[in-house]
Amino acid sequence: MSRVLERRKQLMRLMRQATLDNGYFTVAGIAEATGIPRSTIQDWVNRLVEEGCVALLEEQRGRHAARYVASSVMPESACRRVFTTIDGEEVEIYHECMSGGCAAFCEFHHARAGGALQSVWRDGTLLRERAHLGRQEVAVGLDPAPAVGIVGVFHEDGCIRQQIRCIGGPAYSLTDMMSFAEGVCGVTVHREGPLVEGEVVTRALAYVAIGIDDTDTATEGATFALALALLQHLTKLDGVMPIGHRVAMLNPHLEPRTAGNSCSCIEVAVEPSMIPRIEEAAVRFVAGEAASPEWGIALREGFGVPRDLRAYGKGAREAVIEREEAEDTARRFGVHLHGGRGVIGALAAVSLIGLPHEVLLDPGMDVCTDWDPEHQ
């Protein structure tokens, strides 16, 4: 995101909060809160007044400073984060909302619209959508038509450009809110009567899955907890966006095991140049924190899962896998393994990405080697 846009977001946030708390804000108050010179803040206020985002409440009188109000005390954005990853000709779009209701609304209407999207699914307040590069027209309008749809997704100069058509509430979100979401580099819009079509620009990040297993013992530690700690650790690095954490059950009859024989996988979106650093940081963290010397990590880039890689995950839920098979499979599919015996389950965790929770947690369910998000 450009520095100018980031600064604008920061100042608007402070101005809106001051308006809510005090009924107004002053240039001096914003300058004190940010450490920015008053003259610079005054220039910003003048610009925001021209844009209609700020209004003059009281003019300066003697020693009494001018008072301003942010023109809207609506939520700055119902969109917490919007970011994207690319894998070949496919793009995965992540849209984290402030509420489950907002996420469900977008899930329903985006799925109804279709357009450039192949699949739409939701994990709590996080909407995940899969799209092919290109454009596919969508007719939006009043019910029963969808209120919003993604008509195009393009990859250009290291960025993903989503072209969105909408009406009503989604149009307000696009024009007034989405630019404030973390991960958005820019938004442009134009109106055609009641319809709004806009373009949302985000970085074309790389999807990275990190599988983890055998980090605990019968009396100490838990792999799921260490995986969550690793996710928190990695997302402190610049250029890393957290996507999620999943737990998968493997062969429940395998011995020895600490409990039900589960593995974990964390998902992050990163700048492509960051992948080696992410791998190094993950290995160092798990090696230092694992209770078991048999800990294992598997790291793979890309959200598409080849049929034979998925078959490995299926096998790990039904049979006993030896390390040699895990290493051969990892070489075939470009997965990096680190550690001891745990690499067997860690690779299984990576091979099972994209499956719904109810499948991951029930080893009796078939993972379907040709499963993809469209079937969810």
Helix 307-318 vs helix 323-332: crossing angle, to nearest 10? 160
Tokens (6 digits) for 15: 């101005």
Domain extents for the chain?
Answer: 3-70, 79-193, 205-366+368-372
CB-CB contact of 248 with 360 (8 Å) = yes
* DSSP-H helix ranges across 204-269: 223-234
Tokens (6 digits) for 266: 């964390």
Alpha-carbon torsion angle 149, 155, 157, 162, nearest 10: 0
pLDDT in tens, the chain (376 residues): 467 778 888 898 899 888 878 889 999 999 999 999 999 999 999 988 887 788 898 999 888 999 998 876 455 578 899 999 999 999 999 999 989 999 999 999 999 999 999 999 999 999 999 999 999 999 999 999 999 999 999 999 999 999 999 998 888 888 778 888 999 999 998 888 889 999 999 999 999 999 999 998 888 889 999 999 999 999 999 889 999 999 999 988 877 666 678 999 999 999 999 999 999 999 999 999 999 999 999 999 999 999 999 999 999 999 999 999 999 999 999 999 999 999 999 999 999 999 999 999 998 888 874 455 444 4
The helix or strand, by DSSP H or E, that contains position 212, with its residue range, turns out to be strand 195-213
Q: Which CATH number fits domain 3-70: 3.50.50.60, 2.30.30.100, 3.90.550.10, 1.10.10.10?
A: 1.10.10.10
pLDDT of residue 375: 40
CA separation for the pair 137, 140 (Å, rounded): 10
Pairing of strands 117-123, 126-132: antiparallel
Tokens (6 digits) for 83: 């970011």
What count of Cα atoms within 13 Å lies in the side-chain half-sphere of residue 246? 26
The helix or strand, by DSSP H or E, that contains position 345, with its residue range, turns out to be helix 343-351
CA separation for the pair 293, 291 (Å, rounded): 7
Neighbours of 334 (CB within 10 A): 11
Would you call 341 exposed, middle or buried from its count of C-beta atoms within 10 A (0-12, 13-18, 19+)?
middle
- In CATH terms, the fold of domain 205-366+368-372 is Alpha-Beta Plaits (3.30.70)
CA separation for the pair 49, 41 (Å, rounded): 12
CA separation for the pair 212, 223 (Å, rounded): 7
Neighbours of 82 (CB within 10 A): 25
CB-CB contact of 205 with 83 (8 Å) = yes
| Cβ density class 41-51: b for 16+ within 10 Å, e for less | beebbeebeee
**End-to-end CA distance of the chain, in Å?**
33
Distances (CA, A) of 337 to 150, 235, 317, 333: 37, 21, 19, 11
The structure's pTM equals: 0.79
